[in-house]
Amino acid sequence: MTLYLIGLGLNDEKDISLKGLEAVKSCTKLYLENYTSILQCSKEQLEELYNKSITLANREWIENSSQQILNLAKENNVAILIVGDPFSATTHINYIVEAKKQNIQVEIIHNTSILNAVGITGLQLYKFGKTTSIPFTDDQAQLETPYNVIKENKKANLHTLILLDLKPEENRFMTINEAIKTLLKIEQKKKEKIVTENTKIIGTARLGSNNQTIRTGTVQKLKDIDFGKPPHCLILPAKLHFMEQDALELWE
């Protein structure tokens, strides 16, 4: 019997691979990890395609129930379904480590993730540096990490992808507008001119879906634009190659 970690891609129920769907059909139990990102379709649309019911699994559950899932996988095919690729979120590698220790078969079925989908902006994927994120935090005064990552990446002439926090259970999704405000607040404090009103940025929403939004321009220009439904993410480009510049003009 096998524990499957199956990537669902970024848009809707039809982004699963043929291999992923075959695995789903063979499972007695399906969990949908629903805290690291969201699809543009409902759980019910997945269930209808799979002709099976799906149990939602939040962060607490995924982190605390690994032994329960592994036990189940000793006797049954079980799948954890993950928006994007199974390695989009760092917590899932633990399942593989534990399963191997306990001699339980694990199979990873990959899919696309935001790390691929940002390619549509025209920026070269190979020129991205460390990925960072902006969390919902009560302690905004202490938040400096995303700013520092942008700074270090810029120094090395690398693009920065910034993932914005989301709490689907509370229906809270950080917008580009909030993210920009947070970065400008850090700028006010640190004054290193890493993110100013004149900094060129790229805002994206629902990347990988057929209703994605991509806009490029200065912070000044983008800070009040409504990007619509989540998830949003922000890119701080490094110096552009002329081919990147050409492609980016599509979104001006």
Instruction: Give the interface with a second copy as residue ranges (CB under 8 A).
Output: 7, 9-19, 21-22, 85-88, 90, 93-94, 96-97, 100, 107-108, 110-113, 115-117, 119-120, 122, 124-132, 152-153, 156, 158, 208, 210, 243, 246-247, 250
Q: How far is the CB of 218 from a second copy (least distance, A)?
A: 22
Q: For a second copy, which is the closer residue by CB, 162 or 201?
A: 162
Q: For a second copy, which is the closer residue by CB, 77 or 112?
A: 112
Q: How far is the CB of 161 from a second copy (least distance, A)?
A: 9
Collapsing DSSP to helix, strand or coil, 134 comes out as: strand
Task: Classify burial at 201, counting beta carbons within 10 Å of its beta carbon; exposed 0-12, middle 13-18, buried 19 or more.
Answer: buried
Q: For a second copy, which is the closer residue by CB, 107 or 165?
A: 107
Q: How far is the CB of 68 from a second copy (least distance, A)?
A: 21
Q: How far is the CB of 32 from a second copy (least distance, A)?
A: 17
CA–CA distance, 160 with 235 (Å, rounded to integer) = 6
Q: For a second copy, which is the closer residue by CB, 205 or 219?
A: 205
Q: How far is the CB of 189 from a second copy (least distance, A)?
A: 23
Q: For a second copy, which is the closer residue by CB, 38 or 120?
A: 120
Could you write out the DSSP letters of every residue in 139-193? -GGG--HHHHHHHHHHHTT-BEEEEE-EEGGGTEE--HHHHHHHHHHHHHHH-SS
Residue 209, CA distances (Å) to 8, 87, 237, 247 in order: 12, 20, 22, 19
Q: How far is the CB of 219 from a second copy (least distance, A)?
A: 23
Strand runs (DSSP E) across 83-155, as ranges? 105-109, 132-134
Q: For a second copy, which is the closer residue by CB, 15 or 187?
A: 15
CA–CA distance, 8 with 168 (Å, rounded to integer) = 17
Q: What does the H/E/C string look like for 199-246? A: CEEEEEECCCCCCCEEEEEEHHHHCCCCCCCCCEEEEECCCCCHHHHH
Q: Which amino acid is at 19?
A: K
